[in-house]
Amino acid sequence: MDDQIVIRRADLSDVNALSQLSQKTFRETFMEDFSMPYPEKDLQSFSHSLASPEWFANIMVHPKRAAWVIEDKMDDDLIGYALVGPCNNIPHPDVCSNEDGLLHRFFMRREQRNQGFGQQLINVVLLCTKVLCTLWL
């Protein structure tokens, strides 16, 4: 593990920071990096429905969902995260939606990319989920 960061399972104390990080990385990735012209009302809808502290709190308490975060040791800020949960509604014959898992989100703040932190995070996620289920990426 890197001396700059800690990778750990997220908990309820992280929901506000995860909400902010999710909104920031969504904008950076899709609007800026991929130049997707999302209307502001769609961004607001995403923020309220799939990136709110309440939404992340539900992830934390759900028995079949998990989040891992990368935390900067210097300032305790979250710089990346991954969400894993059930493979619901994936129409593929090899997917067992009740047993298999899916990497739902994997985001890193732009200024922290290309430093190997994402690789470390995916390694932890794969190791931790390996004993629980087949994980689809």
Decide which of 108 and 47 is more confident.
108
CA distances (Å), origin 124, targets 6, 8, 42, 53: 11, 9, 32, 24
> Is pLDDT at 100 greater than 80 in this prediction?
no
- pLDDT tens digit sequence for 19-76: 999 999 988 888 888 888 888 888 788 778 888 999 999 999 988 889 999 999 999 9
Q: Which domains does the chain have, with CATH numbers?
A: 5-136 (3.40.630.30)
pTM for this one?
A: 0.84
